[in-house]
Structure 1
Amino acid sequence: MIQPCDIDALPRVATAACASPADFDAIVRAERPVVIKGLLEAWPALAAGRQGPAALNAYLKAMDAGAPAPVMEAPAATGGRFGYGADLREFAFSKRQAGIGETLDRIERLLGEPDAPFVAIQMLPLASHMPEFVRRNPSPLLPPQVMPRLWVGGAVRTQTHNDRDHNLAGVIAGRRRFVLFPPTQVANLYVGPLDNPPPLSLVDPEAPDLARFPRYRDAYAAAEVAWLEPGDALFVPKYWWHHVTSLAPYNAMVNWWWGDTGAGLERANDVFLTALLAFKDLPPGERAYWRSMFEAYVFAGDGEATAHIPDGLKGALGPMSPSFRANLARQLKMAFLKGGA
């Protein structure tokens, strides 16, 4: 029997050839993680990364536009785990703004130092902070309006979390491992508070406490693993949970987020929070009614519950034209305003 901490034994994420944006569009529509080998092979940044930390740092610093960068730091005692503190109210790492050049120099100085803290530049928006990087290293698959971000640091481990966007992540230095769980495993991942974003799983996949988190066995049974070498990229569909480990002393990655296109009343996360407000404290019978309504009319998707209604009379239960959606949104806005929301 495979043990829930044996990450090496997990099924590997599928690998796909992807020669064009059309190929990639098919991957995105399939809504499954996929590794794309050698996607960034033509990048000058990858060539610099293969020469070592000093070469890549020099390459990056030469394009620094001077704006401060988002920097995260965790003490040596954390083992590089970027997760919650003991009481879940705070994280076990600090966040601050600092200069790109000075932070890259510090990351390089800490290499090989005993009991060194774990320092990383994370989510750096390259379009504003290194526009020349974007020009020299264009996305091979995504349109230019989807802007890349840079991640550089030591051997950090980011606790299991998910994104509201699709994610394409490509390695330019070091190696990375992603452990991925389908969105349906949320109840088995023991996720922390939603109001302390991003919500993280409390389970350490490398050493899960199964006495405290017994349902994690089910999450592990559904998990997959992806190992990325320099030049490789991973597509992570939106809402897939993923634990990310930087496996080398020095690591660099570029990623793109896109796809969270909902706005206003059509923003799914806000609707979810509204549902918590409206349904969570209802009596059991009322909650059962609304669960059935959502299952029949929102999530079933096969139209069986409305097949007996003529198409012209289905209203919100049928396909919605842009004008119908806009009118419905106006009605809902008026309802919320009347209710004092």
Structure 2
Amino acid sequence: MWQHDCPAPDMINADDSLLLDKGLTALLSECDKPLTIRQLVAEWPLVKAAQLGNDALCRYLAGYDKGTVVDAIQLPAKENGRMFYNDALSGFNFTRTRMPFKKALDKLLSEQNNAEADTLYVGSTTVDTCLPNLLSGNKIGLDALDPLGTLWIGNKSRIAAHYDAPDNLICVASGKRRVTLFPPSQAKNLYVGPLHFTPAGQSISLVDFHQPDFKKYPLFKEAISNALVIDLCPGDALYIPSMWWHHIEGTESINLLINFWWRDIAAYIGRSENILYHALLTLKQLPAPQRKAWRDLFDYYVFDDNTARFDHIPPSKQGPLGEIDENTARQFRAWLVNNLKY
């Protein structure tokens, strides 16, 4: 890791009056930057089991297991936990496999004292599918947001910097995590890889955070100057707002976190990423003056905060320029699909 005194995100404790007065949902709904909440989930039975050791943690998890088969990543020890591309960027440096969750736990336990163990990582696994009722006994208090809970468990791991569209609250149950965060504006300095060919669905920074090559990636120095770094212990939680880039490293023999995803818009609105992908196929190919004109048009139609700018159009004719309900979204999605035909 680079030698740099990066500041940490804003931080409060679980007993902070701000949290107690507002409640977790209201507090996070008002946040527009990362927030660490120390010991937010310290009273979870899951965290308390982990405090007794890896064996107790795995017994606790196995008690909820119904024989679910999960996706797992296996990575040679020489990669030092970094899940990434191969040297030619033609494939990846890890293999994917399917295995019973209980088998993954047994393998992690069998290698817990082996400093040279290969990496085994089970990530982005829906908790309710893998371990039914686990969250009923380990509540987070975000029911109003209807979040999706997922688990991430493994030994040493390094997940390359990436962004996620949903808001995200990560809760460390076991082990330690170092999280490095960058605001969305730093995408231009992170040397992001392909959009369509990725290790896990999201495009990632190509910079090795342990050994950054500043000759190859000189703008990364600017990203570092805007980075936030936080070390999380069992019981700690970190709120990562939508679109913030984050690099996550697990450093112990068994690291487990549960995270919660949610969006503050209706599901029928769809995925914003689709706009970016289509713009790359169309707008990016235009001459510079036309791209500038389209930027101005997007500013007017999409990014301008003047809510009265369409008041000259009767509400019944505003369509997607006005309030969008599920019926309007369905109608104009069909209209869009028809216009995409060529």
Q: Fold conserved (TM > 0.5)?
A: yes
Partner letter of residue 14 of structure 1?
A: D
Q: Which runs of structure 2 are paired with 1:70-149 in the superposition (5 Å)? A: 70-143=71-144, 145-149=146-150
SS of match in other structure, 2:112: coil
CA distance in 2, matches of 1:310, 1:95: 55
Q: What is the aligned length? A: 334
Matches within 5 A, 1:29-48: 29-48=30-49
Question: Which residue of structure 2 aligns with residue 12 of structure 1?
Answer: 8
> Contact 1:20 / 1:141 at 8 angstroms: preserved in 2?
no
Structure-1 separation of matches of 2:281 and 2:62? 47
Seen in structure 2, the aligned counterparts of structure 1 residues 143 and 88 have a Cα distance that, compared at 3 Å, is: farther
Indicate the residue corresponding to 2:280 in structure 1: 276
* CA 1:262–1:188: 2 relative to 1, 3 Å: farther
Task: Work out whether residues 68 and 99 of structure 1, in 8 Å CA contact, stay in contact via their aligned partners in 2.
Answer: yes
Residues 164-205 of structure 1, C-alpha deviations (whole Å, 9 max, x = no match): 111111111111110000111111101111102221101122
CA distance in 1 between partners of 2:157 and 2:58 (Å): 18
Q: CA distance change for structure 1 residues 331 and 179 in 2, over 3 Å: closer, same or farther?
A: closer
Helix, strand or coil at the partner of 1:58: helix
| Mean CA deviation greater in 20-29 or 265-274 | 20-29
Structure 2 residue matching 1:321: 3-state secondary structure? coil
Tell me the amino acid that sits aligned with residue 183 of structure 2.
Answer: P
Give yes or no for contact 1:88–1:193 (8 Å, CA) kept in 2: no
Partner of 1:222: 226
Letter in 2 for 1:59: Y
Q: Offset of 1:90 from its aligned partner?
A: 2.0
Map Cα deviations across residues 259-284 of structure 1 (whole Å, 9 max, x no partner).
Answer: 17465664311122122222011112
- CA apart distance, 1:256: 0.9
Q: Please report how far the alpha carbon of residue 292 of structure 1 lies from its aligned counterpart in structure 2 after TM superposition.
A: 1.7
Aligned partner letter, 1:92: N
User: For residues 312-340 of structure 1, what are the alpha-carbon distances to aligned partners after superposition, in whole Å with 9 as ceiling and x for unaligned?
Assistant: 589659961346x8557635633531541
* RMSD of aligned Cα (Å): 2.7
Alignment partners' CA distance in 1, 2:132 and 2:332:
43
For residues 127-159 of structure 1, give each alpha carbon's deviation from its aligned partner in whole angstroms, at most 9, with x where no partner exists: 112113122112233448423212111121111
- What corresponds to 1:186 in structure 2? 187
Matches within 5 A, 1:1-341: 5-7=2-4, 9-16=5-12, 17=16, 18-19=19-20, 22-143=23-144, 145-196=146-197, 197-259=201-263, 261=265, 266-302=270-306, 306=309, 310=312, 312=314, 320-322=322-324, 326-327=327-328, 330-331=331-332, 333-340=334-341
Moved more, 109-118 or 268-277: 109-118
Percent of aligned pairs with the same residue? 28
Contact preservation (8 Å) 1:297, 1:317: no
Instruction: Structure 1: state its 5+ residue gaps.
Output: none
Distance 1:58 1:111 in 2: 15
CA contact (8 A) 1:46 1:231 kept: yes
> Structure 1 CA distance, aligned partners of 2:336 and 2:144?
38
User: For 1:268 and 1:295, how far apart are their aligned partners in 2?
Assistant: 16
